[in-house]
Structure 1
């Protein structure tokens, strides 16, 4: 009965979303604010894959209507928590008598996400830690929810995304969500990242506690910090320091280790009282094979050279652009929009003129999507990089992107 109720709610939200899209295609006006409020309320309660998909969508600040994006972004910071009684049952199933392990567990979570929520706790020895607890019953409804998410993703055909690409993107999402169900894998990722980036003194990754962790509960040492989304009005030196570490870390992730943190919403990052970047969540990490990375850098090289024919050839080498290809004018306009970010010297990620140009370009790119046909894994990687880009925007980063990319472009040609 509970599963059927979830299905009806998801289908209802999907129908409302489809109706809004249909009205815009017919030249009408959609109530994006009202749709966003309905999606926030419904998905905040239901949790799971559909909420995860909405959080992913909200990271496309330059794609969604502003009113809709603003409401969906609330899912990253204001999602309704699961009642404590349900969370307590999961904890008791894992630990047994909670009083035998913990002096205190805060009943109200300080973070609620799509697949679980986080509670502060104190052990009998007085050690402060956090417990990431998976929502009860999520594993049992996951496949049913994914079936409904697949239906929702079919709306992407209205944006001219080929069905084969949507199917492949769905499989990437489904595989990631299934992997997120086992918190032991995230504990291993935390340990791996802590060892890998120990040389970055201004980067902090919480230490997992394997003895207190399991499949549906992840225990970590508590690392306090100010969430990245709350740093927009902070001291400029603090924001620039955090932005520099974030950019250095992403570059090393990609070009040294061939991986990428694939859940870049702002709630997963913070700054501690020493101004260090804190990364809280490693539930989603994707591999980035070297051939794919080299091909994407060759596309960037052609874009910075503002060479439409080379851009088209690079897209072919990526595995996209099967068929006629996009108009050369679109390639030129795309190159002109991106160029300011890679001009000589420090570039200001807070420059709204750049964002406005990229936002104006987005509908044209999506209108040509059936001719561009980017590979599904490139869509996922692009979405992730887009999320990290917007984190740099929120920080008002000033970075020498030309200096950063020059050796990487040379590496791609080697």
Structure 2
């Protein structure tokens, strides 16, 4: 009965979203703020994969209407927690009686997300841990939600995205969501990242505790920190230190280890008391191929050279083109918007002129969808890099992107 009610609510939200998309496509006006409020209220209660996908959408700041993004972004910080009774059932399944292991478990979570929530716990020895607890029944809910998401993605045909491309996008999203249910894989990722990045003094990754972890509960040592989104009005020196560490870490992830933490929303990052970057969540880690890296760097190289034909060639390599006639004017505008960030010397990510240019491009990208298409194979990769761009914007980062990217461009050309 509850499953049918969930399906009806998802279908209702999907129909409302579809109506807004269709009105816009036909030249009308959509109330994106009202739609965002409805999605926030519905998905905050439903949680699960549908809420996760909405959080992903909120990171596409440069493509979606700002009013819709603002409302969806609330899902990253204001989602209502699940009642304690359901969480305790999962803890009992994992531990038997949790009281034998813990002196106290806070019933109110300090973080509530789409697939689970995080509770502080104190052992009988007095050590403070955190328990990431998966919502009850999530594997079954996942498959039901994915069926509804597949139906909703048919709206992409109104944007002239081919069905084969929509199917490929869906499969990459579905695989990523299924992987996030494996908390034991996340524990292994935490251990791997702790060892791999131990040389980065400015980076902190919580230590997983395998003896207290299982398929649906992940136990970690507690690492206190100020969330990244709360640093925006904070000390500039701390923000610049965090931004530099974030940029160094992402670059090393991609170009040294060919692996990427693929959930860049601001709630997964913080600064500790020493001004170090804390990474809380490694539930989504993806491999990155040389071919995809080289094609993305070729696209950047062509944009910096303001070469629309080379940009089109790179997009074709990435699977991001369809139909006849490259939108060369759009390529030129995109190149002009991006180029200032890569000029020699320190560039300011807080410069609103560039963001405004990127936002102004959004309706033109949608209008050119008969010739462009989402590159399905790099959906999570491009979404992650986009998310980190906006994290650097929030931090007001000042970075020399020319010095950072020049050796990478030379590598891609070789």
TM-score (ref. length: structure 1): 0.98
What is residue 376 of structure 2 aligned with on the other side?
A: 376
Per-residue deviation at 1:325? 4.0
1:40 paired to 2:40 = yes
What is residue 80 of structure 1 aligned with on the other side?
A: 80
Distance 1:400 1:208 in 2: 35
> How many equivalent residue pairs?
414
Where do 1:6-405 residues align within 5 Å?
6-405=6-405
Per-residue deviation at 1:322? 4.0
Per-residue deviation at 1:165? 1.9
Distance 1:188 1:100 in 2: 26
Structure 1, 34-43 or 230-239: larger mean CA deviation: 34-43
Secondary structure, in 3 states, of the residue corresponding to 2:370? helix
Secondary structure, in 3 states, of the residue corresponding to 1:220? strand
Secondary structure, in 3 states, of the residue corresponding to 1:372? coil
Q: Which runs of 5+ in 2 are unaligned?
A: none
Q: Which runs of 5+ in 1 are unaligned?
A: none
Change (3 A) 1:408 1:201: same
Distance 1:166 1:388 in 2: 25
Per-residue deviation at 1:139? 1.1
- Given that 1:228 and 1:267 are in contact with CA atoms closer than 8 Å, whether structure 2 keeps it comes out as yes
- Given that 2:225 and 2:273 are in contact with CA atoms closer than 8 Å, whether structure 1 keeps it comes out as yes
What per-residue deviation string (whole Å, max 9, x for no partner) do you get for residues 162-183 of structure 1? 3222211111111111111110
Secondary structure, in 3 states, of the residue corresponding to 2:130? strand
Per-residue deviation at 1:61? 1.3
Secondary structure, in 3 states, of the residue corresponding to 2:371? helix
Change (3 A) 1:72 1:406: same
Structure 1, 379-388 or 213-222: larger mean CA deviation: 379-388
Distance 1:369 1:409 in 2: 28
- Given that 1:348 and 1:399 are in contact with CA atoms closer than 8 Å, whether structure 2 keeps it comes out as yes
Per-residue deviation at 1:237? 0.5
- Given that 1:319 and 1:375 are in contact with CA atoms closer than 8 Å, whether structure 2 keeps it comes out as yes
Secondary structure, in 3 states, of the residue corresponding to 2:270? strand
- Given that 2:327 and 2:371 are in contact with CA atoms closer than 8 Å, whether structure 1 keeps it comes out as no
What per-residue deviation string (whole Å, max 9, x for no partner) do you get for residues 94-153 of structure 1? 111111100000000000111000000001111100000000011122111100011122
- Given that 2:25 and 2:159 are in contact with CA atoms closer than 8 Å, whether structure 1 keeps it comes out as no
Distance 1:24 1:296 in 2: 30
TM-score (ref. length: structure 2): 0.98
Structure 1, 365-374 or 302-311: larger mean CA deviation: 365-374
Secondary structure, in 3 states, of the residue corresponding to 1:122? strand
Distance 1:8 1:339 in 2: 46
- Given that 2:319 and 2:376 are in contact with CA atoms closer than 8 Å, whether structure 1 keeps it comes out as no
Structure 1, 310-319 or 6-15: larger mean CA deviation: 310-319
